[in-house]
Amino acid sequence: MSLDLKFENQLKNATPERLLKIIQSDQDGRLADNGAIVCNTGEFTGRSPKDRFIVKDNFTKDQVDWGKVNQAFDPENFEKLYMHMKDHLQSKRVYIRNAYAGASKKYQISVRFYNTLAWHDLFCMNMFIDIPKDESLNGSPDLEVICVPDFKAIPDIHGTNSANFSILNMSKNILLIGGTGYSGEIKKGVFSYLNYKLPVEHNVLPMHCSSNEGKNGDCALFFGLSGTGKTTLSSQKKRALIGDDEHGWSDDGIFNFEGGCYAKTAGLSKDKEPEIFEAIGSRAILENTPFFNKSNIVDYDDTSITENTRVSYPLTNLSNVKIPSVSNESPNHIFFLTCDASGVLPPISKLNYGQAMYHFLSGYTAKIAGTELGITEPKAAFSACFGEPFLPLSPIKYAQMLGDRIKQAGAKVWLVNTGWIKGAYGKGERISLTYTRALISNALTGSLEMVASATGPYFGTEIPLECPGVPSEILLPEKCWDDQEAYRKSAEKLVSAFHENFNRYESSCDEEIIAGQPTLQADFVS
């Protein structure tokens, strides 16, 4: 079904130069000294998971994993909401953009975006893949997205939970977004659509991960939720970035879903994250990032609006990026990034197959302030496959697909703690980014497999005992806590939380995966 919407006041596939002029004339954004445009998302500065829905009809009723994550939406209410949004748009200037999602020609989809904010149109231009000049999108696109921040739903009439909403209709290939100006809802809505279509129709594994490639074509994946370091750790001078957030793994290799990056900017500096810092220029959109007083210089340390300050920019703003964003090889190394607020997990450890599948299904991390409504400090959470909020199918389906591909590729899997060491949040300290980079670099070169290792307590993973550039005393968590009894209590609490969470998957897992779970009885390294 194609909407084929037309409006009296519409602007189709506008250039970035024209959009920047409109954004400033409409006072929706202000130009920074580095060339980026700074915009405010309004009331919502992060996603709203409780307001995300999928239309439940004959096409989806037996395939979608219905529940708190995938809330069912009535088809009739969807039609009613769509008609009201369509009427609302008649009085608006509408920005229409055609783009691709998916760098692989074999699996990419065409998307048509309808936005009412010029900076949202520029965001879509940044985050998705331009249609080449020698191609044209004739006829119906595969997916159509309507985003109208000032349209507020009425729950009693439209069947939503509140005034804001994000609703996917898989049968009609339509995504409706309203009541929120947070642009992340657009990209995550498209991601959710691909998470349904690619496994069901093409046997392609969609993944919430970043990816990069070495000079010899060796590929690495970095799984993790928002705030765990996917963008930062995959952006390296010695390895070409494939993408920073969303990828597919097919029989042909790895491909990026997007044409840009959407990075967190809180505390950003040229010294810590030079690749991201230098990419913020032409076409970049900074969200909710204040200026220094009486200037047009961005203050990345100012999180007074939200901790979830963001920047979107096209991949071409980066100096070391692979275009097209495709690797023809399966990954050699896979990193599960977790921001452990308990300070229990080691900075890095190697997982066997059972442990890898257990941790993938568990998806443990701490939600970082600002990424979701109500999150003001790190909070322990389990998100299956490191991306449960975007998974229309059962997590078991994605885990089975990943497990098959890991075995076929012979990929090595690592668990990396980008969170706290020497104690829990509030008492310990967050691990240095320099140390994490060194650990990952040495894992990629094989150096960590050449040093002595130990089996860690509780989780039973293989922990390297030394790494160039990293103090050995921080590699074993139980050794660097001042209070050993406090460590034991924190570890046992975390293990119990893992067990409680995994109860919902245990009946669907084989003995190898179940054997990968942590135990309450721990043997400490002497």
- Average pLDDT of the residues in 126-138: 85
Catalytic residue among 41, 231, 371, 453: 231
Establish whether 437 is a catalytic residue: no
- Average pLDDT of the residues in 257-268: 96
Establish whether 208 is a catalytic residue: yes
Q: In the prediction, which pLDDT does 366 show?
A: 80
pLDDT for residue 29 is more than 50: yes
483 half-sphere exposure, CB direction, 13 A CA radius: 11
Establish whether 359 is a catalytic residue: no
Tell me the per-residue pLDDT of 191-222, one tens digit each, with 9 for 90 and over.
999 999 999 999 999 999 999 999 999 999 99
Catalytic residue among 120, 158, 172, 208: 208
Q: In the prediction, which pLDDT does 376 show?
A: 62
| Domains by residue range for the chain, with CATH | 10-28+44-202 (3.40.449.10), 205-259+325-514 (3.90.228.20), 261-314 (2.170.8.10)
Q: What phi and psi, each to the nearest 5 degrees, are found at residue 240?
A: -80, 130
- Average pLDDT of the residues in 274-288: 96
CA distances from 370 to 226, 262, 307, 423 (A): 10, 15, 5, 23
Catalytic residue among 120, 187, 239, 310: 310
Establish whether 362 is a catalytic residue: no
3-state secondary structure of 374: coil
pLDDT for residue 1 is more than 50: no
Q: What percent of the chain has pLDDT over 90?
A: 90
pLDDT for residue 526 is more than 80: no
Catalytic residue among 120, 230, 239, 333: 230
Tell me the per-residue pLDDT of 233-252, one tens digit each, with 9 for 90 and over.
998 889 999 999 999 999 99
Q: In the prediction, which pLDDT does 374 show?
A: 62
* Angstrom distance (rounded) from CA 68 to CA 280: 37
* Angstrom distance (rounded) from CA 476 to CA 109: 46
How much is the pTM? Answer: 0.94
Establish whether 239 is a catalytic residue: no
Q: How confident is the model at residue 443 (pLDDT cuts 50, 70, 90)?
A: very high
Establish whether 18 is a catalytic residue: no
Establish whether 134 is a catalytic residue: no
> What is the residue-averaged pLDDT of the chain?
94
Q: How confident is the model at residue 466 (pLDDT cuts 50, 70, 90)?
A: very high
DSSP string, 53-116: EEE-STTTTTTS--SSSSEEE-HHHHHHHHHHHHHHHTTS-EEEEEEEE-S-TTT-EEEEEEES
Establish whether 188 is a catalytic residue: yes
Q: What is the 3-state secondary structure (H, E, C) of 467-488?
A: ECCECHHHCCHHHHCCCHHHHH
Of residues 203 and 370, the one with the higher pLDDT is: 203
Q: In the prediction, which pLDDT does 246 show?
A: 97
Helix orientation angle between 118-127 and 184-202, rounded to the nearest 10 degrees: 40
* CB environment 230-243: b (16+ within 10 A), e (fewer): bbbbbbbeebbbbb
Catalytic residue among 51, 121, 142, 245: 245
